[in-house]
Copies of this chain bind each other. A is one copy, B any other.
Amino acid sequence: MTQLEIARVGKVSSEMEQAAAAENVSSEKVRELIASGRAVLPKNKRHQFAHILAIGEGLRTKVNANIGTSGPCSGIEREIAKLDAAVAAGTDSVMDLSTGPDFQEVRQMVLERSPVMVGAVPIYMVAIRLRLEGQSLSKMSADGLLRSIETQCAEGIDYITVHCGVTREVVRRLDHCERLMPSVSRGGSILMQWMEKNNKENPLYEDFNSLLDIAHTYDVTLSLGDGFRPGTVVDATDGPQVEELIVLGELARRARARGVQVIIEGPGHVPLNQVVANVIMEKQLCDGAPFYLLGPLTTDLAPGYDHITGAIGGAIAAAAGADFLCYVTPAEHLCHPNADDVRAGVIAARIAGHSADIAKSLPGAIERDRQMSIYRRDLNWDGMLSEAIDPDWARERVSLSSDGETCTMCGELCAVKLSRRSAKHPTSGYSGSRDQQEGKT
């Protein structure tokens, strides 16, 4: 039985217990959420890893880090460093998106080494093999694609991106709008090219039942990819994007009916004022399925800083109900990311997710901020640095004044110190002993 089927018959699996223990929620609540399809617990039956988590409504916003080689940038050492950086920075998931010739070796390494769930985009492997054989992508066989997906699922991947919504009907919608970029999704554009060259329907749509059989066998969560996510804020929330989402909602219902866990992928590049609408649409069209967003980026102008742009969009989306944020690194739109980019991307996405968790009044979320602020009030630097989202980096940057109490930003004119001295307010909670220590004017 899959986690969804176990939840439906009213049983709490040990995985659900572990996922519940990882946050402020009961295992029964996790079971209910999974049973209703409003949360998923991505874990391949064949994959053992340490941090079992659920993703969905009422749970902490989760973060994914994409790693993996590309054709121009291969090498397993670099990917080990990136995986370790992502995990050290606190990611909840990694996706191995390798498209370099060493893809097989990298995927094995990630599956063995990662303490968090592992996702992948199986069509990449098919595409790379064709490339390595000097073949056109249009030579891909529908059956070969499904067999490759099965192989990867059998290896233990916990969730897979499948661009099942790139249908001929949705592709035709491109003719009826002024889209700047037809597709910025690699999987989506491979399928689009294949469909046009072969004049056939997307096999992942046409043979969706076979895909469900594979996913069901290993309890692989399907992440229904958005081949028509906007690649610029100018293209956001247009016909192809929204029609694809409608199709994904239909497929999500079929997946759940088959006992297969499913999440929905979302944009992409979206103006700030359209972000909430995109979340509401997804939740409505897909019956509350967990929403997995790449960004969204609220402007196209910031290559080199897209982790920041993605944090803006991601925070707003997660506060509105998005459940899973795929990080964007500072390298996006410029180059293959390195380990520093991975760290920056994970931290930015975690800031977005935590900001959203506070906004959603997630139990326990603001308590961490309260604790940090008590340390700040008390000028307790050990406490502040330990509580920081990236304690190592905070320790590297901190610089205290000669008084050992204030930082070099304000020194003696530290407002926290000044207002503490003058405080007459017992409700403010200053300890008398600290007040008495204050000798200086």
Question: With A182-B428, A272-B316, A298-B355 in contact, is A413–B335 under 8 Å at CB?
Answer: no
Q: Is the interface of A mostly helix, strand, loop or mixed?
A: helix
A330 to B351, CA, bound (A): 13
CB atoms of A181 and B419 under 8 A apart: yes
Interchain CB contact under 8 A, A409 and B331: yes
A75 within 8 A of B: no
**Which residues of A from 403 to 441 have beta carbons under 8 Å from B?**
407-416, 418-425, 427-429, 441
Are B72 and A408 in contact (CB-based, < 8 A)?
yes
The interface size of chain A toward B, counting residues with CB under 8 Å, comes to 120
Would you call A298 and B231 a contact (CB within 8 A)? no
Q: Given A312-B351, A397-B334, are A272 and B358 neighbors across the interface (CB < 8 Å)?
A: yes
Given contacts A70-B408, A369-B299, A413-B124, contact A428 B232 (CB under 8 A): no
A83 to chain B, nearest CB (A): 17
Q: Which residues of B contact A177 (CB under 8 A)?
A: 427
- Residue pair A410, B300 in contact (C-beta under 8 Å): no
Please measure, in the bound complex, the distance between the C-alpha atom of A180 and the C-alpha atom of B366, giving whole angstroms: 13
Specify which chain B residues have a CB less than 8 angstroms from the CB of A319 in the assembled complex: 272-273
Within 78-107 of A, Cβ neighbours of B (below 8 Å) are at: 99
Q: With A308-B311, A315-B298, A370-B234 in contact, do A334 and B72 touch (Cβ < 8 Å)?
A: no
CB neighbours of A190 from chain B (8 A): 413, 418
Find chain B residues with CB under 8 A from A388 CB.
301-304
Which B residue's beta carbon lies closest to that of A181?
A: B377
Which residues 26-82 of A have a CB within 8 angstroms of B?
Answer: 70-73
A222-246: CB near B (< 8 Å → 1, else 0) gives: 0000000001111100000000000
A192 in contact with B99 (CB, 8 Å): no
Is A358 a contact partner of B316 (Cβ separation < 8 A)? no
Selected interface stretch from A7-15, A130-138, A205-213: A130-138
Q: How far is the CA of A420 from the CA of B308 in the complex (A)?
A: 28
